[in-house]
Amino acid sequence: MQKRLFSRYVFLALLLTLLSSLIVTGFYLNHPRAEVLPDSWSYLYVVNLISNTGQLVNFWRLPFYPLFISAIYAVMGQGNIEAVSIAQAILFVVATLEVYVIAALVFKRAWLALIMGLLVGANLTLLSYVKPLMTEGIGLWLLVSLTLTTVLFLKTFQRRLLWLSMGWMLLLFMTRPEWLYLPPFILAYVL
């Protein structure tokens, strides 16, 4: 019985991953160029500073997203903004799968978790925010990862999950400054 239940969760997770990957692939094939918005240039400027001088601190932008772009450049080639956009698409699919896991843990129904995951994975408006070279894609993934880790901590009370939650929060702080207001709400919920 346990094995059958587990295999149903895994099958629906694989189905969700396949469907959301197909949706993302179709979206990217329909609009293949990486989108560079006016704010993207400031991130690329900080990436240039990191690459040339090793300077992480900038008065204009927080360092985590430019470090993410620098890591993609190191693997895929300097200036390859299409690779950055594709990496953000992969993070979108991972965030969709994490939403499935969160819903499965909270509701304990595989079909309901699939629906919740599809609501995120098939959301073209959300995907259109993830595609450009902006912090929204990595911010979505970090926020969903923080939520998943918090839910797991509330179920198991393992100290390492609490530390991992703090790590996700720190990365969120280093991505967008407005996430600084999130910890009081999480602490109020936990307490």
Distance separating alpha carbons of residues 58 and 61, to the nearest angstrom: 6
Domains in the chain, number: 1
CA atoms within 13 A on the CB side of 53: 8
pLDDT at position 155, please? 93
Model confidence over 176-185: pLDDT tens digits?
A: 988 888 888 8
pLDDT band at 57 (very low <50, low <70, confident <90, very high): confident
34 pLDDT exceeds 60?
Answer: yes
> Who's near 9: CB < 8 A, 6+ residues apart?
104, 110, 113
What 3-state class would DSSP assign to 7? helix
pLDDT at position 180, please? 85
- Give DSSP secondary structure letters for 160-175: HHHHHHHHHHHHHHTT
Model confidence over 59-106: pLDDT tens digits?
A: 889 999 999 999 999 999 999 999 999 999 999 999 999 999 999 999
Distance separating alpha carbons of residues 70 and 51, to the nearest angstrom: 7
**Structural domain containing residue 181:** 2-190
Closest CA to 133 of 85, 66, 178, 186: 85
Phi, psi of 82 (to 5 degrees): -65, -40
